[in-house]
Structure 1
Amino acid sequence: MIRFVCIVIFLALYLTLTIPVLAVEWVIGKFNPYARDISSLRIVQWAFRLIMKMAGVKATVIGEENVPDEPVLYIGNHRSYFDILLTYSRCRRLTGYVAKKEMERYLTLTTWMKRLHCLFLDRSNPKEGLKTILEAIEDIKNGISICIFPEGTRNKGDELTMLPFKDGAFKIATKTGCAIIPVSMNNTAEIFESHMPWVKKTHVVIEYGKPIYPDQLDKETKKHIGDYVHNIIQETIKKNAELV
């Protein structure tokens, strides 16, 4: 329980004490938006790494060299809130995550998320969902990577299974030609979700797959690109289960 309490206290302090930081960065952004964005990225990454240290998370990372130095679409499986911390803390470039619209209610947290180019998806409104995808396409064109978990929600089933992918997410890649980077994560639910409210020392495995460029796929594979990426991540999760 002490890990959970420490993390909650840290988050409360962070979201309170960084309000002046947001104000300073707003001023910086008036003169140099890129400097503001990079500063926000590094500050949040520092906080995420500290939280993972408090949680006692040890990560084995495979294939990080597969991520090219260009805007990409990260596609990952999703079983834990910690999936976001684990992956975002490793982003070298500006990267926005697609989150559920309900996250907008959390004031300072929402401000930080918007500063980091996060997008909020209304899953109950197809028209608004399309608008979010179009915004993500523009971000890619502007040099900002996007990360999305196309299962649509945290998978609470068996560790080695995945929910079907929502196809809309892949339009971000097919409409821009950017690389898709499959991100496979093992054992992340063991950090917190499998035994809430306890946060337990855990070993996780993250593997970044080779980039997939939609325009280099054959017509049939491109037509079912969601299933193609889903299968890659599914097989990688099964392969890495023995490493946990």
Structure 2
Amino acid sequence: MIRTVIVVLFISIFLICSIPIWGILFIIGLFNKKAKDVIGYKCVAWAFGVVAFLAGVKYEVHGIENVPKDKSVLFIGNHLSYFDIVLAYHLSPHVTGFLSKDDLKKVPLLNVWMMMNYCLFLTRTDPRQDLKLILKAQDYIKAGISMFIFPEGTRSKTGEMAPFHEASLKIATKTGCPIVPVCFTNTREILEAHMPKIKKTKVVVTFLPAIDPNALEGENKKRPGAYVQGIMAKQLEADAKLI
């Protein structure tokens, strides 16, 4: 339990001590919005890096060079753990917003950082509202902000991927932005497999080559989620051998 206590303590201290940074970022944003976005994102990315370190996560990263550096992308990840978000935030090379469940919107201080970093909160109970958020995510992509989604809709309780929700892929198909699949292996063993204990764990994170949604044809074009999931399933099988 000691790791859990240390991680929770650090997150609490960071959230409280970072409050003055909001004012600084607001002032920076008045003169240079891009600088404000980059600094704000790096603050949280740094904090999540510390969280991973304190949790004893030893992560092996592959394919980070596959992420286009000159354009916004839609990251697609399989979802095993809260630590998928921690690692994704820490490793994503440029400003990235996340589509998250609306429960996190209720977490004080954290919700401010999330909104500041272009996160959107899905209800999963109001299709009309969630569609508006998908459209908002498309606007962010067009404005140069990458987005990260977990198309399964929730964390896997078995380690197996659930079918991807095809609607979430519209962020890419409607904007034409590249899709970058991100495979998380063994992250469930950090926390979810034995809650509330956090345990030292080796994980693998693989960024696969970007997929051009405009180049898909036939059934792959009709169901891009299933196509991307098939590619990720093969990579996850290979990465499992590295643990």
Q: Which runs of 4+ in 1 moved over 6 A?
A: none
Q: How big is the shift at 1:219?
A: 2.9
Q: Give the match for residue 54 of structure 2.
A: 54
Which deviations, in whole Å up to 9, do the C-alpha atoms of 1:29-56 show, x marking residues without a partner? Answer: 1222111111111111111111111011
SS at match of 1:236: helix
Correspondence 1:31 to 2:31: yes
User: Quick one: which amino acid aligns to residue 169 of structure 2?
Assistant: F
Q: How big is the shift at 1:61?
A: 1.0
Instruction: Measure the CA separation in 1 of the matches of 2:45 and 2:174.
Output: 29
Q: Which runs of 5+ in 1 are unaligned?
A: none
Instruction: Measure the CA separation in 2 of the matches of 1:235 and 1:38.
Output: 34
Q: Give the match for residue 107 of structure 2.
A: 106
Q: How big is the shift at 1:4?
A: 0.6
Q: How does 1:149-228 map to 2 (within 5 A)?
A: 149-157=150-158, 159=159, 161-228=160-227
Q: Give the match for residue 65 of structure 2.
A: 65
Q: Give the match for residue 13 of structure 2.
A: 13
Q: How big is the shift at 1:107?
A: 2.4
Instruction: Measure the CA separation in 1 of the matches of 2:48 and 2:95.
Output: 15
Instruction: Measure the CA separation in 2 of the matches of 1:125 and 1:142.
Output: 26
Q: Give the match for residue 83 of structure 1.
A: 84
Q: CA RMSD in A?
A: 0.9
Give the share of equivalent positions with the same residue, in percent. Answer: 46
Instruction: Measure the CA separation in 2 of the matches of 1:118 and 1:103.
Output: 10
Q: Which runs of 5+ in 2 are unaligned?
A: none
Instruction: Measure the CA separation in 1 of the matches of 2:31 and 2:218.
Output: 45
Q: Give the match for residue 118 of structure 1.
A: 119
Q: Give the match for residue 148 of structure 2.
A: 147
User: Quick one: which amino acid aligns to residue 148 of structure 1?
Assistant: I
TM-score, normalising length: structure 2: 0.97
Which deviations, in whole Å up to 9, do the C-alpha atoms of 1:195-231 show, x marking residues without a partner? Answer: 1111111100111111111111113211011100111
Instruction: Measure the CA separation in 2 of the matches of 1:82 and 1:108.
Output: 19
Which deviations, in whole Å up to 9, do the C-alpha atoms of 1:75-99 show, x marking residues without a partner? Answer: 0100100001111111121100000
SS at match of 1:211: coil
TM-score, normalising length: structure 1: 0.97
Q: How big is the shift at 1:236?
A: 1.0
Q: How many residues align?
A: 242
SS at match of 2:74: strand
